[in-house]
Amino acid sequence: MPDPLTRYRSADEDSIRWRDFPLRPGDIVISTRSKSGTTWMQMICALLVLRTPDLPAPLTTLSPWLDWLVEPADQVYARLAAQRHRRFIKTHTPLDGVPADPRVHYLVVARHPLDMAVSLHHQSGNLDRARLAELTGHPGPPDPDRRRPSVEEALVRWIDADPDPREELDSLPGVLWHLRDAWARRDQPNVHLIHYDDLRADLAGQMRRLAEMLDLEPPGPDLVEAATFDRMRSRADRLAPDPAGVLKDRQAFFRTGRSGQGSALLSAADRARYHARAAALAPPDLLAWLHQGR
């Protein structure tokens, strides 16, 4: 029989790891695109599950990135098997690449794609490419002295690029591929879509909503405060997703988290071209929710 799961691979990820991973009732799978609120949602889940702002271990230990090739699969499986609290697991794999289990909750965090692309550009400049190549066994950057494009140049190129979405999930087609699949599942009782801008606008309310969806106790003010962007940046040594030392600056991982920065960098013509491309890649109701009137 053909495999029911789509396989997604990149230089440092392989979703095939999900096929052999034994899920438990109550597991929480956090499925996002890069720079769309992954670490934020991991922290929120850690606070709601563990009920303390003083986490007992670094966030990457508590919530491993299951499909990251830097850490051997057996080690990730063993670490998760040893956890006795309710597990919350990170992935950048779309839901069609993850086993569907009615006993498991799936959280998909969405961010305005232009804001995501700006953050992704800055994140790219914060990666130690030589270290990442060493860890994954791939060649290092071919021309480390090549001038990086400005954020404005990179954003325009990102809008115009047209790769296979399954091969470049952080492209515009890839982002909308991921979200389109989740949007089609949104009526399933264990699939929950959360918007990044809603977290920014009402963190306490969104944390209460999540607690109710996950059948957890609502958070007190101390837990909400621990999930604020400024508080997380101040604890970057424990919260940044950098167990293997691939970030040049952990605090820079939590750069600003602002919304609207992508649109502000574009000309009116470039914004119109972005909206035309997005309209060709996703249904109007998804885009209306995703763009939040912007």
Give tens-digit pLDDT for 115-156.
Answer: 999 888 776 554 555 555 555 566 665 565 566 778 899 899
Give tens-digit pLDDT for 69-118.
Answer: 989 999 999 999 999 999 999 999 999 999 999 999 999 999 999 999 98
Residue 252 reports pLDDT greater than 90: no
- Structure tokens that stand for 20 in this block: 């052999």
Query: Does 105 qualify as catalytic in the annotation?
Result: no
Helices and strands (H, E) in the chain, number of each type? 16, 4
d(CA 89, CA 241): 13
From the candidates 85, 92, 112, 195, give the one annotated as an active-site residue. 92
Q: Is 89 helix (H, G, I), strand (E, B) or coil?
A: strand
d(CA 15, CA 3): 13
pTM: 0.88
Give me the residues paired with residue 90 across strands.
30, 65
Average pLDDT, the chain: 88
What is the sign of the dihedral through the CA atoms of 293, 197, 264 and 94? negative
